[in-house]
Chain A
Amino acid sequence: MAKPRSNQSRLHVPEPPFRPGDSPDYSHISVPTMHTPHRPDPMCDDHETAEHALKLIRVMRFNGDTAGEWIPNLTPDIKRKMLKDMMLTRAMDERMFAMQRQGKMSFYMKSAGEEAVSVGHAQALLDTDMTFPTYRQQGILINRGASMLEMMNQCLSNSGDPLQGKNIPVLYSFKKHGFFSISGNLGTQLIQAVGWAMAEAYKNSDSIASTFTGEGATAEGDFHYALNFASTYRAPCIINVVNNQWAISSFQGIAMGEGESFAARGTGYGLATLRVDGNDALAVYAVTSWAAERARKGGGATVIEHFTYRKEGHSTSDDPSKYRPKNDAEVWPFGDPVKRLKDHLIKLGEWDEDQHTAYEKEAKLFVRETYKQAEALGTVDSGPQVDDFTMFEQVYADPPKLLLEQKEMFKRELG
């Protein structure tokens, strides 16, 4: 008879609760209605926020009311701007997605369902604060008044592309709007943002840095570097984890989401930690203001987990119905960020259905008109093109001789 193994371990591979064909039921995810936890002083000891990493900071109820200690002091004008920015972000995403499907550009990534994270966050920062975004925070650019035409030109790699065709669509760079050049390599900007923030502190500047990762890329070493260095040097920065539940086809459990929470990672590094309802634009604004104040006052970095849901595919190259139920986004218990802010403003008497429909139309029209202007400047394979020779530029400040020779070789190739 075989001896029983003394080692009873089994390889554990986390699986999402629902797959295609299942009827998703998220009743196990608690939606806190009491709007705890309390709002500590931004200069509190980091341990005082340990419980905040496990709870969920919310401001708006589903009926449009606000409750709790985190209600931000915002004028209706600012709230309307946030709503409009979110709507405009969504309208642009929809148009660009459709244009990709028509073959006008090679690729696109929407941020549907996550507009509150980018817009609410940007609204709470100063214009001089540098953001280190991933490819899903286009709402920051919209909020900061970047030219939509320039954004579209980048996506189309046309003759008006500020990056002259060097980068793939959506990987924007807008230094003038405090929006750091996006890299395809995940997680890398986290530690760079800490370095940027260290430089701000070194220069005695009043500015801070804010950096983003999805929950999937928290598994990269760079996330650890960022938390470690941010804590060691008390860097004035905000480290945002946008937990939208999905890293392409991998559910958040594959990134160790079956642990306490992503925000809780910060606790072990001695950082303040907050976990926020990412579909609640007012709550996102509130936690960002808190973290920015802490950073500016010398309290160091804060880790914020934005709990949200990626409503659509990862990118135009992805079909989510292959790995999750079709109606998953609809039954997700935290609702839609645009609808929630809309309901709140209506409740305040500062917005109504007619205004909403009118702005929806206005945004759509603006996006369509802007897109027309962009397409007139070319697409990646038709109309005015980026000069091919620009591909040899900006490799170095001064191109080395061997590179200049290659430019000549290419010239001969063209005949």
Chain B
Amino acid sequence: MPQMSMIEAIRDAMDVKMTEDPNVLTFGEDVGFFGGVFRCTAGLQEKHGLHRCFDTPISEGGIVGIAIGMAANGLRPVAEIQFADYIYPGYDQIASEAARLRYRSNGDFIAPLTIRTPVGGGIFGGPTHSQSPEALFTHISGLKTIIPSNPYDAKGLLIAAIESDDPVLFLEPKRLYNGPFDGDHESPSVSWKGHELGEVPSGRYTVELGKARQVTEGSDITIIAYGTMVWVAEAVAKNMGISADILDLRSLMPLDIDAIEASVKKTGRCVILHEATRTSGFGAELMALVHERCFYHLEAPIQRVTGWDTPYPHAQEWAYFPGQKRVTAAVREVLEAA
């Protein structure tokens, strides 16, 4: 089976769909000839032509806006926003238009588009290259929000996103583009080469939107994570030698509530992880849902480990990033609570 990095898996997903379906096309800033600042579209213009993979003006509102018009007209556009930190000028088009078109027209018009954007920190990106704005999108009804943590899922989820008749925001943790990252910045970086989740089938396959991945199965505690934090969770559980039920959500909206409920009812303890800031972050929604559904099974208060309620700093990268130390402390506290 071919070995791919997350970048290659994402590119392959687009290549597969562009080969199979002439209605699929991709565009964004530097996406065309150059192949994207992260190489996610490298070679696509050469292979599929100028009309199917092209550069756009620097205008996020414009990029999302044309994607909506194309999608409503029967195409399957895959638009790229260079960094999630720059998605805000496109927010009106995403929130007021893409997400609401089907509803407000009662199905007369739909917007089957995908917006890909690199997300997350751990790369010394500072305030405008590290943000995790997922909660600003999970709050929008009509929109799907997806975030893979490995090459296999990235390809399968992206193909499913492109095939979805709903608008999908596809968040790509850029810290995971070239290899898994467990939050330990002092150990040498690893690549996806040789990793079992770097084994990516050729051709078309999908990973169902709305289904979590069971990372490890355990009985002591449920750890809910997505994106880079999945790898932090796995490392913490391993180092602590605990029996953890780790869920990689993959899909924030729609949410695999059944998997969450079953796990917490089994373990009675729950820790929620995300890089994004704490207040009104997606973790708050997860905590509320677990509380509503699993209250009588809980043996300890739920904890969440998140980024601080500050803009993402530069020099204080590892003091900000919710790494193994902070996660370990929270897991220990939840495990030890009476």
Contacts and interface: CB of A to CB of B under 8 A. Distances in A.
A413 B109 CA distance: 31
Contacts of B316: none
B165 A397 contact: yes
**Chain B interface size range:** 35 or more
A180 B57 contact: no
Contacts of A199: 69-70, 73-75
B62 A225 contact: yes
A197 B166 CA distance: 21
B75 A171 contact: no
Contact of A225 (B61, B77, B108, B253): B61
Contacts of A197: 69
A402 B286 CA distance: 12
Contact of A198 (B59, B61, B69, B258): B69
Contacts of B109: 173, 175, 180-181
A100 interface: no
Contact of B59 (A162, A163, A209, A228): A228
Interface residues of A, number: 45
Interface string B224-254: 0000000000000000000000000000011
A130 B66 CA distance: 14
Interface string A213-241: 00000000110011011001000000000
Interface string A374-399: 00000000000000000001111100
A192 interface: yes
A400 B251 CA distance: 12
A194 B254 CA distance: 30
B217 interface: no
Interface in A139-187: 162-164, 166-167, 171, 173-175, 180-181, 183, 185
Contacts of B75: 199, 202
Contacts of A174: 108
Contact of A195 (B66, B142, B144): B66
A195 B25 CA distance: 12
Nearest to B144: A396
B105 interface: yes
A173 B93 contact: no
A191 B93 contact: yes
Contacts of A166: 103-104, 106
Interface stretch (B35-43, B94-102, B267-275): B94-102
A194 B72 CA distance: 12
A313 to B, nearest CB: 24
A363 interface: no
B2 interface: no
Given A171-B104, A202-B51, A195 B65 contact: yes
Contact of B105 (A163, A198, A228): A163
B102 A194 contact: no
Nearest to B141: A395
Given A225-B61, A395-B142, A181 B69 contact: no
B97 A192 contact: yes
B270 to A, nearest CB: 18
Contacts of B7: none
Interface in A192-214: 192-200, 202-203, 209
A221 B108 contact: no
Contacts of B96: 183, 185, 188
A401 interface: yes
Nearest to B164: A397
B103 A395 contact: yes
Contacts of B196: none
B89 interface: yes
Nearest to B251: A400
B65 A188 contact: yes
A191 B66 contact: yes
Interface string B90-128: 001100110011111111111000000000000000000
B73 A394 contact: no
B66 A175 contact: no
A173 B105 contact: yes
Contacts of A188: 65, 92-93, 96-97
Contact of B97 (A130, A183, A198, A221): A183
Given A181-B109, A194-B66, A401-B258, 4 more contacts: A188-B96, A196-B72, A198-B66, A225-B65
22 contacts: A130-B73, A171-B104, A173-B105, A173-B106, A173-B109, A181-B109, A185-B96, A188-B65, A188-B96, A192-B72, A194-B69, A195-B73, A196-B69, A225-B62, A232-B56, A395-B102, A395-B103, A395-B142, A396-B144, A397-B165, A401-B254, A402-B254
Q: Which 4 A-B pairs have the closest CB atoms?
A: A195-B69, A191-B65, A195-B66, A400-B254
